[in-house]
Copies of this chain bind each other. A is one copy, B any other.
Amino acid sequence: MTLIDGKAVSAQIKQEIAAEVEQIVAAGGKRPHLAAILVGHDGGSETYVANKVKACEACGFKSSLIRYEADITEDELLAKVEELNQDADVDGFIVQLPLPKHISEQKVIEAIDYRKDVDGFHPINVGRLVIGLPCYVSATPNGIIELLRRYNIKTSGKKCVVLGRSNIVGKPMATLMMQKANPGDATVTVCHSHSKDLKKECQEADIIIAAIGKPNFVTADMVKEGAVVIDVGTTRIPDATKKSGFRLNGDVKFDEVAPKCSFITPVPGGVGPMTIVSLMKNTLLAGKKAIYQ
């Protein structure tokens, strides 16, 4: 069993990005600039945004954090989005989700100029991903593809089961795994809350990508000997022994599943760091105007 070390891979990619940024800057180019809007004080969001800012530093990016209280109106937020759309110094930006209930997340996502949408959530980027055109790929699926690539995990012709059909993980992940590409070319099955045959599908899978948000959902009896298991789950479980008061729990019952796997990602330290580094890669692409002018 090989433990997929997302922390190490992401550290290496950040170094690669930082080296490229220094070359760009040395050649008189512009340092990529990522802006992040954070609304309210959700604990998870605070951590994610703090980690993104830290990753920007590691990559040599300029970063801006724009904070609002949870009572900001939708119009005020949309006005800020438009301001960032127009700001030539900002190469890409994100609005950290979730947003307070009185604000339409979809409206905000669609207000972002797709050329600065480094989260890859705008319909144009989603559509271009499906069609197979250059675009900002949603960060978590892109990070998983990068792990499969760097660990030389064969996907062509394999049976890949994706658990979960969310717009930011399940669906784009399924799309990437079925595309004519390497990694890709897999036979892809998407299971979700309505699936009757989920367990059987998993048992037959060469690759399981669990993004269903239920701690310890994937148990040993669901996994074939030699399978590759990618765990996207990051549920916060209260844990008094931790300084933060909680621990992160994946969708996979790691202790019993890991011995059966050829490859498996841990939680934390697997997919999580790759998600952030994928955002950094999109920001670098934005800074270079590599996808859109």
Q: Which residues of A contact B (CB under 8 A)?
A: 106, 122-133, 156-159, 165, 167, 171, 174-175, 178-180, 185-192, 194-198, 201, 204
Copies of this chain, tallied across the complex: 2
**Which residue in chain B gives the minimum CB-CB distance to A131?**
B167
Q: Given A156-B194, A174-B174, A187-B195, 9 more contacts at CB 8 Å?
A: A123-B128, A126-B126, A126-B127, A127-B128, A130-B171, A174-B190, A186-B194, A187-B192, A188-B189
Inter-chain contacts of A191 with B (CB < 8 A): 187
CA distance A201 to B185 in the complex (A): 16
A210 smallest CB distance to B (angstroms): 15
Closest Cβ of chain B to A132, distance in Å, is: 7
Looking at the assembled complex, report how far the CB atom of A268 sits from the nearest CB atom of chain B, in whole angstroms.
Answer: 29
User: How far, in whole Å, are A167 and B178 apart by their CA atoms in the complex?
Assistant: 12
When the two chains form their complex, are residues A197 and B201 in contact, meaning their CB atoms are under 8 A apart? no
User: Do the beta carbons of B190 and A194 come within 8 Å of each other?
Assistant: no
> Which of B127, B179, B186, B197 is in CB contact (< 8 Å) with A130?
B127
- Whether A187 contacts B178 by the Cβ 8 Å rule is no
Please state if A175 and B185 are interface contacts (CB–CB under 8 Å): no
Instruction: Decide if B187 touches A196 in the complex (CB within 8 Å).
Output: yes
Contact assessment for A187 and B190 in the assembled complex, using a CB-CB cutoff below 8 Å? yes
* A212 vs chain B, min Cβ distance (A): 13
What residues on B are CB-neighbors of A195 within 8 Å? 157, 187
Is there an interface contact between B187 and A188, defined as CB atoms closer than 8 Å? no
Bound-state Cα–Cα, A50 to B156, Å: 41
